[in-house]
Chains A and B, each alone.
Chain A
Amino acid sequence: MTNNDSSSRLEDIARKIRIQVIKIIAEAGSGHPGGSLSIAEILSYLYFQAMNIDPKNPQKPDRDRFVLSKGHAAPALYSALALRGFFPEKELLSLRKIDSILQGHPHRLDTPGVEASTGSLGQGLSMAWGMALGIKLSGIPAYVYCIIGDGESQEGQIWEAAMTAGFRKMDNLCVFLDYNNLQIDGKVSDIKDITPIREKWEAFRWKVLEIDGHNLEQIKESINTFKSETDRPTLIIANTIKGKGVSFMENNVDFHGKAPTREEMEIALEELKNG
């Protein structure tokens, strides 16, 4: 497979993730489309290219692990897991319904492929570095990936974990910062600006990279750089667009935690199919 083939395949998967995100949040009548749409390429690359995982053996000990610290983007994670074969795609439409295996926020005991229950912001990064340490102690040469939010970066626990993982040289830990600059109450830069980001994480002893979070080639390069890094964890600042792929959701804070109406869904799906 050539690079271009691989790129277009992963782009297609990112589009499929977005289509499912829109469909299932509309069906559920609630959920978080904006921050789900912004991480579609990252999830596409992780689940369909980077990670050593086996949907038929989700608990295999040498697997790479992923923690969605910004747990409200669960619809995107569930879509990636279903497309990868961890559970049937038809389950996706049961999101947030009673008896569903898909809780509003990820719950590892309900959903095959979910490694950690997350949703209370800040905790996922600690769990991710804990996993990175656990597999190191067991001598397993696997990687742990994690996505944190920019709003989430206002949580104190993020910085506790950042300080520990940097100090402890967790070079098997790769964290994406989904930097879409929107949180529930407005722009991150207005509510509590988290810049300078690079300098902060470098000061906490992390390797810091900055990419366009919707560019699969850049995602690939950044993960390759992460894998060659020793003695430091890696933070990838992924500049993204909240609501990416749906014109009326892009950079629109109203769609942080609001489901599209039936009509909005039809328009969104049309855009995504043609996009």
Chain B
Amino acid sequence: MMRVASLFLHPSLLALGLPMNRGQPMVIAFHNELQLQESLTLEQIRAELRGLGAALILVARGAVFVFQPDDEVDIQGSNIGIRAAAVDELRVACGFAPGAPAHELSLVVLSGGGSVVARHSLLATDSRLALKGLAEALSIAGTQAIGPHPATISRREVVLASLVGAFALLTADGCRPHAPPPSGPAAPPVPINRARKITLNVNGQAHELEVEPRVSLLDALRERLGLTGSKKGCDHGQCGACTVLVAGKRVNACLTLAIMVGEAPVTTIEGLAKGERLHAMQAAFVEEDALQCGYCTPGQIMSALGLIMENRAHTDAEVREHMSGNICRCGAYPNIVSAIQKARLETVPS
């Protein structure tokens, strides 16, 4: 097998001309049938990719797809054609046998410097299983790849060093053929566990979780507790789709670290209805037709509840001002104001 210092410099990869950020870690996955469609599993894959800071290069039959974790699901725009022979070359470069067996899902994780930090194969007989397998494999690979390093050198320094190395190689070497790399075994990654046990009190129920400090309350709710009512719009505190109540106050769950929530009670949209009976605010949104696509609605409703508890907005103008943290791209604003005014008059605190 040909071995080069950085797989980024391997002719078979360079030939693809991938639209990559320089020095970005990369996951290359081979599967003939795999399609990425919107699903819970895809969210997991996104989360793993974000964790790795990596792009996913999916090599399917006749085409290569580039998938950045924050891309829209429609990845047709990044579709690059590839011949069967080139697929084989790439497989070999990644350390797999040429000629992909049917149903085999194989993947490698490349560091920012282009070296293989994890490799994984499994059998997946259809696209759905392959997607699930990909999520699991990424999770395993992620633990292998995001390793800690000897105490004297931080992980950031390692990543930085590999990035610097990759840039230097890319600029100096261009596309010239590559000399064999200096030999020597790579240090085996040692798993680091920064996860902590926390208890989240959500909608009156205590949930024990183990989360890394970087996990947002929104991701903990959606991806760990399956409470997908709170939506991820911008993930930067700009749209309000993730609004939940923490200790009775409305906050952006995307900018809240789960580990910082502590014992404070969290209320999400799932906690409002009593059985089949909708909360007055939910009912008002339905009655006033306060939505079109509905994506922002859980955040609008939670924000509206916060607003009512703050008891500071009374006129329509005040409601609009104090709901400005919730963006509705369908422009259902007039009916949202009507719904809030209707529910406010029914539930106004004395």
B partners with A: no
Spell out A's residues near B (CB within 8 Å): none
